[in-house]
């Protein structure tokens, strides 16, 4: 556990927020999750409990460790409960206006020395920091999905981030037994700057009729040794998230190579967002996923 940080606050009881809560509690931190509704918090806590149970079954932790970790996690829909946070990690939706509204709400509650971090996968850390009362104590701590499994965390400083903030964040990530990679504050950082254009290109390959969903995913799994095909991965990430990251790259770098594929736009407009909505490049409503094209 970090010497400086004891209480971790998390904004958002979705997939990422719950994953960060899971690994933080397992590492010995007290964790408080904030979301807009108690229902979402209950659902998130149930997910965390299920994930811990799976780790017990797989021999990754004992039942005693699971109970102790769960006891360190609380949740509520009252923003004032985030006041004790030494480090507050925002894991809300990938929408800058939403994040800005959250910061306006939480900054007055936080103690002056608290660090505020964002789990954004693509947005400017400098710009988000400027929307807070503590740009020097703000930075990007970008976890990969699913958080309990993935070993990498991207650390991204804004132009105003102080060295002490960066050091505390690095120490925190190391205490979770994750590997740090440091990225500069450019659109989509390292992983998504490389990964999302590849996914977008796979969608163009489908759009232009070069191959079917199955052909493209099989080609990349067996031809490039990827554990998951790019279209299957897009469904896992969420097609709305894929689109928003491509838009950030296209807007931020002004290069036509980052233009989101029209087929990706069409799927998002249809509400076919991947696994979470039941349909994307695959249809998940039956026993086994079936390609939708």
Residues marked as catalytic: 121, 142, 154, 192
Q: CA separation (Å) from 172 to 38, 180, 234?
A: 28, 10, 29
The distance from CA 100 to its chain's CA centroid, rounded to whole angstroms, is 17
Which residues, including other chains, have CB under 8 Å from residue 168's CB and lie 6 or more apart?
A: 2, 4, 5, 87, 115
Which residues, including other chains, have CB under 8 Å from residue 269's CB and lie 6 or more apart?
A: none
Task: Show the tokens assigned to 250.
Answer: 């296209």
Q: How many Å apart are CA 107 and CA 133, to the nearest integer? A: 7
Q: How many Å apart are CA 71 and CA 278, to the nearest integer? A: 33
Angle between helices 262-269 and 239-253 (to 10 degrees): 130
Is residue 235 within 8 Å of residue 282, measured between CB atoms?
yes
């Amino acid at each position: 556990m970090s010497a400086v940080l004891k209480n971790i606050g998390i904004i958002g009881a979705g997939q990422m927020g719950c994953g960060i809560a899971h690994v933080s509690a397992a590492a010995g931190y007290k964790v408080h999750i904030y979301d807009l509704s108690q229902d979402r918090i209950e659902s998130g806590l149930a997910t965390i409990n299920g994930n811990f149970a799976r780790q017990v079954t797989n021999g990754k932790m004992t039942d005693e460790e699971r109970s102790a970790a769960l006891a360190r996690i609380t949740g509520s829909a009252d923003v004032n409960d985030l006041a004790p946070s030494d480090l507050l990690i925002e894991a809300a939706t990938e929408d800058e206006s939403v994040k800005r509204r959250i910061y306006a709400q939480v900054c007055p509650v936080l103690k002056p020395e608290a660090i505020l971090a964002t789990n954004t996968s693509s947005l400017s850390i400098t710009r988000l920091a400027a929307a807070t009362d503590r740009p020097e104590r703000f930075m990007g701590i970008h976890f990969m999905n699913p958080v309990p499994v993935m070993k990498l965390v991207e650390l991204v400083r804004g132009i105003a981030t102080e060295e002490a903030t960066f050091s505390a964040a690095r120490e925190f990530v190391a205490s979770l037994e994750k590997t740090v990679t440091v990225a500069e504050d450019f659109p989509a950082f390292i992983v998504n700057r490389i990964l999302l254009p590849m996914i977008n290109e796979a969608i163009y390959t489908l759009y232009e009729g070069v191959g079917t969903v199955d052909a493209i995913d099989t080609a990349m799994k067996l031809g490039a040794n990827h554990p998951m095909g790019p279209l299957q991965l897009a469904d896992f990430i969420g097609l709305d998230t894929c689109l928003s990251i491509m838009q950030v790259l296209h807007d931020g770098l002004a290069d036509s190579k980052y233009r989101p594929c029209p087929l990706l736009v069409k799927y998002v407009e249809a509400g076919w967002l991947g696994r979470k909505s039941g349909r994307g490049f695959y249809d998940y409503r039956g026993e086994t996923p079936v390609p939708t094209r």
